[in-house]
Structure 1
Amino acid sequence: MKKTIYLANPYGFSEQQKELLLPPITEKLKSLGAEVWEPFERNNQQDFSKPGWAYIIAQADLNDVRNCDAIFAIVNGTPPDEGVMVELGVAIALNKEVFLFRDDFRRCTDSENYPLNLMIFAGLPQKGWEDYYYKSVEEIDSKHKALYKWLLEDSEIT
């Protein structure tokens, strides 16, 4: 059975970002055998002229975070997107597997250890957190990183 990854990202707000930035990330995750739940693709088919559309989308996204196996959160920006941060917080509270992606070189932190607010790393282990943190699309399928090991742990046993 495929593990599901919720791809928390702000890229769906821009057609150019959705077309250029999302596909390489989604393809890498799928190449590892994951089922990728991309929220704009799954939950944005609403009539934005009708009242209540925002609540419907928010609840659908929240439901996907509840039901996924892991979250792969794109945390670019200073600060990162608010919606991604809420989704990440929910995933951490639900003890989901957490993987972070940031190819943005800017730092926005007071911590000498982390490149972002320390709470963003609360769902990662204290030691070895770097294995759950991805700085490039090329790193996503690295055999030395946590995502590869997590996705393939069951398949290697059988």
Structure 2
Amino acid sequence: MTSKTIYLASPYGFSAQCKRLLIPEFVEALAHLGLTVWEPFERNADLDTSKPGWAYRVAQQCMQDVRDADGVFAIVNGTPPDEGVMVEVGAAYALNKPVFLFRDDFRRCTDSDQYPLNLMLFAGLPESDWQEMVYDSMDSIKNRDRSLAQWAQLG
């Protein structure tokens, strides 16, 4: 059986420190479940940002990766979370891709008593037990009893 691919939607690649320290930890946790991780900053690392049109090419490549991946794991920290990550989540929902959210940010940014973020971020998750699709630590990502691990193992 070939491993499923998961697109890691994250704002962390814009900071050298976060790119060096945080992204590898997420990639390792997801790979621990047998997933092939598509990390967009790595996948676009060879792009020459001094040439005109580079930003368009990055955006197109990221959208193609969302289309081609089996699912999306989105880091949704911040108030509000990163706009690019939100576009990638919306695209994944429109494509009926499974989306798993990560938030270890204790701040709330919502008008809802039910959800910690804008309610539209939960539109593609199950109505009941949506919490099963939301992760808050590396241990929760690696937990083989959670929905991400179960999905990773499905044929």
Q: TM-score range by the shorter chain?
A: over 0.9
Q: Deviations over 1:79-113 (max 9, x none)?
A: 00000000000000000011000011100000111
> Structure 1 CA distance, aligned partners of 2:84 and 2:46?
18
Q: Which aligned runs of 4 or more in structure 1 are off by greater than 2 angstroms? A: none
> Structure 2 CA distance, aligned partners of 1:127 and 1:46?
42
Paired amino acid for 2:18: Q
Q: How does 1:8-157 map to 2 (within 5 A)?
A: 8-154=9-155
Conservation of the 8 A alpha-carbon contact between 1:65 and 1:71 = yes
Post-superposition shift, 1:10?
0.4
Name 1:3's counterpart in structure 2: 4
Over aligned residues, Cα RMSD in angstroms?
0.8
Paired amino acid for 2:4: K
The secondary structure found in structure 2 opposite 1:63 is: helix
Structure 1: any 5+ residue segments left out of the alignment? Answer: none
Conservation of the 8 A alpha-carbon contact between 1:11 and 1:22 = yes
> Structure 2 CA distance, aligned partners of 1:123 and 1:43?
27
Conservation of the 8 A alpha-carbon contact between 2:109 and 2:118 = yes
TM-score normalised by structure 1 residue count: 0.95
The secondary structure found in structure 2 opposite 1:80 is: coil
Conservation of the 8 A alpha-carbon contact between 1:131 and 1:144 = no
> Structure 1 CA distance, aligned partners of 2:138 and 2:84?
22
TM-score normalised by structure 2 residue count: 0.97
Post-superposition shift, 1:49?
1.3
> Structure 1 CA distance, aligned partners of 2:15 and 2:67?
26
Count of residue pairs the alignment pairs up = 154
Conservation of the 8 A alpha-carbon contact between 1:71 and 1:99 = yes
Paired amino acid for 1:19: R
> Structure 1 CA distance, aligned partners of 2:97 and 2:45?
23
Post-superposition shift, 1:138?
1.2
Q: Deviations over 1:11-40 (max 9, x none)?
A: 100010011111111101001100000000
Paired amino acid for 1:111: S
